[in-house]
Amino acid sequence: MNTLTFLNSPLLWGLALASIPILIHLLFRRQYRRIDWAPMHYLKLSVQRNRRRVRLEQLLLLLLRTALVLLLFFLVARPVMHAEGLSRWLGGSSRTNRVVLLDDSLSMGYSDQGKTALARGQEVLVDLLSTFGPKDRLTLLVASRPKQPLAREIDLDNLDDITRDIREVKPSEVFGAWEPILQSIDELIVAGSYPLHEVTLITDLRASGWEGALAELGNRWAGERVRLRVFDVGLLENPNVALLGLEQIDRLALVGAPTRFEAEVRNDTPGELAGLEANFLVDGKASLVRVPNLSAGQMIKVPLVAQFQEAGTHDVAFELPSDALTGDNARAVVVQVQQSVDMLLVDGEPATDPLGSETDFLALALSLSGDAADAFHVEVITDAEWGAAPASHPDLLVLANVARLSSDQVEALEHEVAAGMGLMIFVGDQLDPDNYNQLLYKSGGGLLPAAFEGISDNEFAGLLIEPLDGSPLGVVGELSPAALERIKIRKTFEVRLPGGDADNVRVLARWNNQAAAPAVIEKTVGSGRVLLWTTAADRAWSDWPTEASYVLAVREGARAVAKTTASVNQFTAGQTLHVDVPASHDVTVPAIELPGGQEPKALVLGNDANHAEPPAESTPAQSARALAYADTRQAGLYKMTWRDSVTGAMSQSFAVNPDRRESDLARLPSDQFKELWGALEPEVVSIHSVDDASLAVRGQEIWRTLATCLFGMLVVEACFARWAGRPR
For 310-321, what is the mean pLDDT? 94
pLDDT at 257 over 90: no
What pLDDT score does 130 carry? 81
- In terms of Cβ atoms closer than 10 Å to its own Cβ (0-12, 13-18, 19+), residue 77 is buried
Q: What is the 3-state composition of the chain as percent helix, strand, coil, each rounded to the nearest 5?
A: 30, 30, 40
The alpha carbon dihedral of 26, 32, 34, 39 has a sign of negative
Q: Pick the residue with more confidence: 263 or 704?
A: 263
User: What values do phi and psi take at 125, rounded to 5?
Assistant: -65, -40
State which fold the 570-657 domain adopts. Answer: Immunoglobulin-like (2.60.40)
pLDDT band at 100 (very low <50, low <70, confident <90, very high): very high
Per-residue b or e along 368-405, where b marks 16 or more CB atoms closer than 10 Å to that residue's CB: eebebeebbebebbbbeebeeeeeeebbbbbbbbbeeb
User: How high is the mean pLDDT of the chain?
Assistant: 84
> DSSP character for 214?
-
What pLDDT score does 693 carry? 45
pLDDT band at 92 (very low <50, low <70, confident <90, very high): very low
pLDDT at 62 over 80: no
Most confident stretch, 80-84, 287-291, 498-502: 287-291
78-92, 106-120, 279-293, 489-503: segment of lowest average pLDDT: 78-92
The alpha-helical segments, DSSP class H, found in 105-170 are 117-129, 160-167
The alpha-helical segments, DSSP class H, found in 276-319 are none
Q: Give the 3-state DSSP-derived string for 573-599, with helices as H, strands as E and coil as C.
A: CCCCEEEECCCCCCEEEEEEECHHHCC
| pLDDT tens-digit readout, 160-172 | 888 999 999 998 9
For 220-248, what is the mean pLDDT? 92
| pLDDT tens-digit readout, 617-643 | 333 333 447 899 999 999 999 999 999
Radius of gyration of the chain (CA): 38
Q: What SS3 state is found at 290?
A: strand
> DSSP character for 292?
P
Q: Pick the residue with more confidence: 33 or 103?
A: 103
For 223-240, what is the mean pLDDT? 91
The number of beta carbons lying within 10 Å of the beta carbon of residue 491 is 18
Amino acid code (one letter) for 220: R
What pLDDT score does 614 carry? 40
Q: Which residues contact 680 (CB under 8 A, 6 or more apart)?
A: 218, 219, 221, 222, 226, 228
What pLDDT score does 13 carry? 59
Amino acid code (one letter) for 508: L
What pLDDT score does 373 carry? 46
What pLDDT score does 430 carry? 94
pLDDT at 613 over 70: no
For 300-326, what is the mean pLDDT? 94
| pLDDT tens-digit readout, 125-149 | 998 888 887 788 899 999 999 999 9
266: alpha, beta or left? (left if phi > 0; alpha if psi -120 to 50): beta
Q: Give the 3-state DSSP-derived string for 517-585, with helices as H, strands as E and coil as C.
A: CEEEEEEEECCEEEEEECCCCCCCCECHHHCHHHHHHHHHHHHHHCCCCCCCCEEECCCCEEEECCCCC
106-120, 385-399, 406-420: segment of lowest average pLDDT: 385-399
State which fold the 241-338 domain adopts. Answer: Immunoglobulin-like (2.60.40)
- In terms of Cβ atoms closer than 10 Å to its own Cβ (0-12, 13-18, 19+), residue 84 is buried
Using CA atoms, how far apart are residues 520 and 551, in angstroms rounded to an integer?
A: 15
What pLDDT score does 86 carry? 42
Q: In Å, how far from its chain's centre is CA 673?
A: 20
For 510-516, what is the mean pLDDT? 93
DSSP for 380-396, written as a single string: EEEHHHHHHSPP---SE
pLDDT at 360 over 90: yes
For 325-352, what is the mean pLDDT? 93
Contact (CB, 8 A) for 449 and 507: no
pLDDT band at 37 (very low <50, low <70, confident <90, very high): low
The number of beta carbons lying within 10 Å of the beta carbon of residue 53 is 11
For 246-271, what is the mean pLDDT? 92
Contact (CB, 8 A) for 601 and 612: no
User: What values do phi and psi take at 378, rounded to 5?
Assistant: -105, 130
What pLDDT score does 83 carry? 46
State the first-to-last Cα distance of the chain, in angstroms, to the nearest integer: 53
Contact (CB, 8 A) for 238 and 324: yes
Q: Pick the residue with more confidence: 206 or 696?
A: 206
DSSP for 56-71, written as a single string: HHHHHHHHHHHHHHHH
What pLDDT score does 52 carry? 66
From-to residues of CATH 3.40.50.410 in the chain: 83-238+665-697
Q: What SS3 state is found at 261?
A: strand
pLDDT band at 17 (very low <50, low <70, confident <90, very high): low
State which fold the 341-561 domain adopts. Answer: Rossmann fold (3.40.50)
From-to residues of CATH 3.40.50.880 in the chain: 341-561
For 600-617, what is the mean pLDDT? 59
For 190-194, what is the mean pLDDT? 85
Using CA atoms, how far apart are residues 428 and 538, in angstroms rounded to an integer?
A: 9
Amino acid code (one letter) for 214: L
Domain range 83-238+665-697, its CATH number among 1.10.760.10, 3.40.50.410, 3.40.50.11030, 3.90.1520.10: 3.40.50.410
The verdict on pTM exceeding 0.85 is no
User: What values do phi and psi take at 39, rounded to 5?
Assistant: -65, -25
Using CA atoms, how far apart are residues 646 and 627, in angstroms rounded to an integer?
A: 16
pLDDT at 321 over 60: yes
174-178, 199-203, 339-343, 604-608: segment of lowest average pLDDT: 604-608
For 676-690, what is the mean pLDDT? 83
What pLDDT score does 405 carry? 94
> DSSP character for 600?
P
From-to residues of CATH 2.60.40.10 in the chain: 241-338
Using CA atoms, how far apart are residues 76 and 79, in angstroms rounded to an integer?
A: 8
For 85-91, what is the mean pLDDT? 43
For 358-382, what is the mean pLDDT? 81
Residue 277, H or E segment: strand 277-282
Instruction: Using CA atoms of 517, 519, 524, 529 in order, give the dihedral in degrees to the nearest 10.
Output: 170
Using CA atoms, how far apart are residues 573 and 658, in angstroms rounded to an integer?
A: 5
Pairing of strands 518-525, 505-511: antiparallel
The alpha carbon dihedral of 41, 42, 43, 49 has a sign of positive
Using CA atoms, how far apart are residues 90 and 328, in angstroms rounded to an integer?
A: 49
What pLDDT score does 250 carry? 87
Contact (CB, 8 A) for 124 and 697: yes
Q: What SS3 state is found at 5?
A: strand
The number of beta carbons lying within 10 Å of the beta carbon of residue 605 is 18
